[in-house]
Amino acid sequence: MIGPFAFWRRSPALAEAVWDARGMGRTTGEIASALGLARRPMENYIWRCGGIRPQKWANPSRLLSYQERLLIKELLIEKRSYRQIAAQLGRAPSTISREIKLGSLEGTRGRYLPTRAQNLAWFNRLRPKPLKITSDHLLREAVQTGLDQKFSPEQIVGRLHRDYPDNPRMRVSHETIYRTIYLQARGGLKRDLTALTRTGRTIRYPNRKPDARRGRLKNMASIWERPAEALERKVPGHWEGDLIVGKNVASAIGTVVERFSNYVFLVKLDPTLDRPTALVQGLVPKLAQLPDTLQRSLTWDQGKEMARHRQITIDSGVQIVKPRVL
């Protein structure tokens, strides 16, 4: 068993698995048992997060370094264009443009300061970020008034649009209100949560229930039941697929992503066929062309288009997520 508050630091993939499983309606007992975690520390961690998945940090390797910023300054002095600078650094021109705008005193090329840009970049990465509602006293009071009157966050958003039609400062989503309520320990609204939510909950719970059978396919394994090696993204050959539906549900295209490399291929579905048949005809040839080492498993959301998943497995040789307890 992994010790208290260590699993999300030692293995980000394991932390993601906790939130994935929770989003699927799994109980904390089931999650702890499946992942080999201590239940109490895990529950305490979820409670501290307000039941909301923490935002991910950007990969540090994708961020500009201080040495790169110094080089940008030198190239600007040499009158190089943004595209020339981007090509020399191996970055996108838009990245260079934003960087120069961020690090310039007046948004001009000649006033770019690498040290200023570096400090601002790290300041912007600080976590936790201040919540929008708690940072604006006028917005906070308007939201608090609505909560005191037992309005739902959706109703509060509607009233803000009605009462402040021309004030962008008073624009907020219902999701932001929910996040502020459940993360109030970081300086949110008043602490009596039973007065803030109609349900009286002090932590956010997923809507999906693990025993809900509606819309599920027979013998179709969920993403939670994919092999352990796919969870850690250490072995190539495990894929995840989903369906993108076009306007008026008249067309659709499948997206299939390899978890190890993030390689993506698309599957065109014939609009003249029913979805399950179109998926079989479009997906099987793509999977059959893959090398044997890349034909380990395919996880697909339990949509009706995957009703013939057994035939896909037989024809392509790719297992549609073999159920397995971690």
- Looking at the 3D structure of the chain, how many domains does it have? 4
Q: Which residue has the higher pLDDT, 229 or 172?
A: 172
Residue 75, pLDDT above cutoff 90? yes
- What tens digit of pLDDT does each residue of 310-326 get? 888 888 888 776 433 33
Supply the pLDDT for residue 80: 92
d(CA 253, CA 251): 7
Q: Please indicate, yes or no, if residue 270 is contained in any of the structural domains.
A: yes
Q: Please indicate, yes or no, if residue 214 is contained in any of the structural domains.
A: no
Q: How confident is the model at residue 213 (pLDDT cuts 50, 70, 90)?
A: very low
Closest CA to 296 of 220, 225, 219, 229: 229
Q: Please indicate, yes or no, if residue 1 is contained in any of the structural domains.
A: no
Mean pLDDT over 92-114 rounds to 82
CA angle 133, 137, 139 (to 5 degrees): 50
117 and 143 in a single domain? The answer is no
Q: Please indicate, yes or no, if residue 227 is contained in any of the structural domains.
A: yes
Q: Please indicate, yes or no, if residue 187 is contained in any of the structural domains.
A: yes
Q: Please indicate, yes or no, if residue 144 is contained in any of the structural domains.
A: yes
240 and 302 in a single domain? The answer is yes
26 and 76 in a single domain? The answer is no
Q: Which domain holds residue 255?
A: 223-316
Q: Please indicate, yes or no, if residue 53 is contained in any of the structural domains.
A: no
Under DSSP, the state recorded for 319 is: B
Q: Which residue has the higher pLDDT, 121 or 89?
A: 89
- What tens digit of pLDDT does each residue of 112-160 get? 999 988 888 877 776 656 678 877 889 888 888 888 888 888 889 999 9
